[in-house]
A and B are shown apart, each in its own frame.
Chain A
């Protein structure tokens, strides 16, 4: 945490709204990414990110400066998203979402844009197959590069629980990859037959 950030947090703790807005500005991307990877829906992720910041603002007096701020903030986001997922099972990625993905990519090459979109879709599809808690562990580990120790702190889990969840999630991802490859091969064969 930089000195400026620490100062902002101290000011926000004293009720300074502008200081908190600066925090929102600085952490919007990791929080939004966490919410998006958990909920697979842009609008739901936006709402969850806003709610995360509101909860953080209300509970900032409880934040312990010894802990990294990102861990604390992402912990709120992860718990909120897990809760949301458990309450209502969100539908999987829809067509609008795919179009939005394609529209958002600023790559000039249409082919690379398509590959990138497919690539993002594939990750999201694979993540969706995981349970909420396994997904949260995997997102924190690979998207936010958290150590196992940090994941323990963020999700209030024991180290063995984090290890077993990571193991389960990785195994599931490997299986998903295998299935995706098998599906792609099958499609390729069908396409070849149709061309002939």
Chain B
């Protein structure tokens, strides 16, 4: 008989015949390892069997009712959102199908493309206009004067923005100074 078999007899709580029982008892007398295993498992098993059933703190059912209400509400909200999303998707898909089938969609695409091209052309024209202005500017105004005027213009712009921000801040926080 292999040593492993005795380990199974000790641990597996299987039915043992009188002969097997005697064999195990005899083995336990001569094998300290199996004897120790048997003692340890029996003690551990007692510990498990004597352990009490752990109960929740009082009011579990009331807490369950609260949980139920909350989860039910959340689920309802999720279902409502999903339905709404589904309807929106359906409406979008329907309108897309209509636009594709009626040719409106292609026309809209071409219109959008034309509008974008026109915008790009307008920007290019605008930039070239600024370029012409800049090129012709030195003929009338010297570079240093133009630089000073440009600087002054920017300074006024910054001061104006700061004043507006300051006024707004004071309106929001009348008791505080914006800068300390």
Whether a CB of chain B sits under 8 angstroms from the CB of A83 is no
Contact of B51 among A24, A53, A123 (CB under 8 A): A123
- In the assembled complex, the Cα of A182 lies from the Cα of B54 at a distance in Å of 28
Q: What's the Cα separation between A28 and B45 when bound, in Å?
A: 25
How far apart are the CA atoms of A46 and B60 in the complex, in Å? 8
Find chain A residues with CB under 8 A from B52 CB. 120
Chain B stretch 37-78: residues in CB contact (< 8 A) with chain A: 37, 40-41, 43-45, 47-57, 60-61, 63-65, 67-68, 71
- How many chain B residues touch A (CB < 8 A): the figure is 30
State which of A1-9, A67-75, A166-174, A188-196 sits at the interface with chain B: A166-174
B residues near A32, Cβ cutoff 8 Å: 54-56, 60
Cα of A54 to Cα of B72 in the assembled complex, Å: 9
Give the contacts of A13-69 with B (CB-CB under 8 A).
17, 21, 24-25, 28-30, 32-33, 36-37, 42, 45-46, 49-50, 53-54, 57
A-B contact pairs, 22 of them (CB 8 A): A21-B65, A28-B55, A28-B56, A32-B55, A32-B56, A33-B54, A42-B57, A50-B63, A54-B67, A119-B50, A122-B47, A123-B47, A142-B45, A142-B51, A170-B11, A171-B7, A173-B44, A173-B48, A177-B40, A177-B44, A177-B47, A181-B40
Q: Which A residues have a C-beta under 8 Å from some C-beta of B?
A: 17, 21, 24-25, 28-30, 32-33, 36-37, 42, 45-46, 49-50, 53-54, 57, 119-120, 122-123, 126, 138, 142-143, 163, 166-167, 170-171, 173-178, 181
Show the binding face of B for A, using Cβ within 8 Å: 7-8, 11-12, 36-37, 40-41, 43-45, 47-57, 60-61, 63-65, 67-68, 71
